[in-house]
C-alpha cells in the first residue's frame, strides 16, 4: 500500500512537472508574440490626421475651460469692485457723520 501511494505521488509530480514545462513554454511564446506586436506598433507610422484631430479637440477643451475661468474671474472682480464701492460709501458716510456730529 505505501508503495502504491509513493508511486501515485511520483506520477502526480511527473505530471505536474510536465504541466509546468508546458506552461513555461506557452508563456515564453506569448511573450515573444507580445514583443513582436510591440515592435510592429512602435514601427508603425503615425497618422498625422489623428494627431491633428486629437490636438484640435484638446485645444478646444482647453480654450473653453480658460474662457470659463476668465468669465468667473471677471464676475468675481465685478463683485469685489461693487463691494469696495459700497464700503467706501459707508466709510465716507461714517467719517462725515463723525466730523459733522450727525448720525
pLDDT in tens, 34-75: 999 999 888 888 788 888 899 999 999 999 999 999 999 999
pTM higher than the cut 0.75: no
CA-based torsion, 27, 28, 34, 37: positive or negative: negative
**Residues near 102 by beta carbon (within 8 Å), at least 6 away in sequence:** 96
| Residue pointed to by grid coordinates 485645444 | 59
Query: Does the pLDDT of residue 11 top 60, yes or no?
Result: yes
Question: In angstroms, how far is CA 56 from the centroid of its own chain?
Answer: 19
What pLDDT sits at residue 42? 85
Count Cβ neighbours within 10 Å for each residue of 5-33 and write b for 16 or more, e otherwise: eeeeeeeeeeeeeeeeeeeeeeeeeeeee
Amino acid at each position: 500500500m505505501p508503495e502504491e501511494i509513493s508511486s501515485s505521488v511520483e506520477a502526480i509530480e511527473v505530471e505536474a512537472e510536465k504541466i509546468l514545462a508546458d506552461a513555461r513554454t506557452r508563456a515564453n511564446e506569448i511573450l515573444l508574440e507580445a514583443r513582436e506586436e510591440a515592435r510592429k506598433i512602435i514601427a508603425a507610422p503615425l497618422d498625422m490626421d489623428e494627431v491633428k484631430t486629437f490636438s484640435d479637440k484638446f485645444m478646444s477643451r482647453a480654450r473653453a475651460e480658460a474662457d470659463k475661468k476668465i468669465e468667473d474671474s471677471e464676475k468675481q472682480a465685478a463683485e469685489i469692485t461693487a463691494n469696495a464701492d459700497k464700503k467706501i460709501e459707508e466709510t465716507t458716510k461714517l467719517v462725515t457723520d463723525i466730523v459733522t456730529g450727525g448720525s
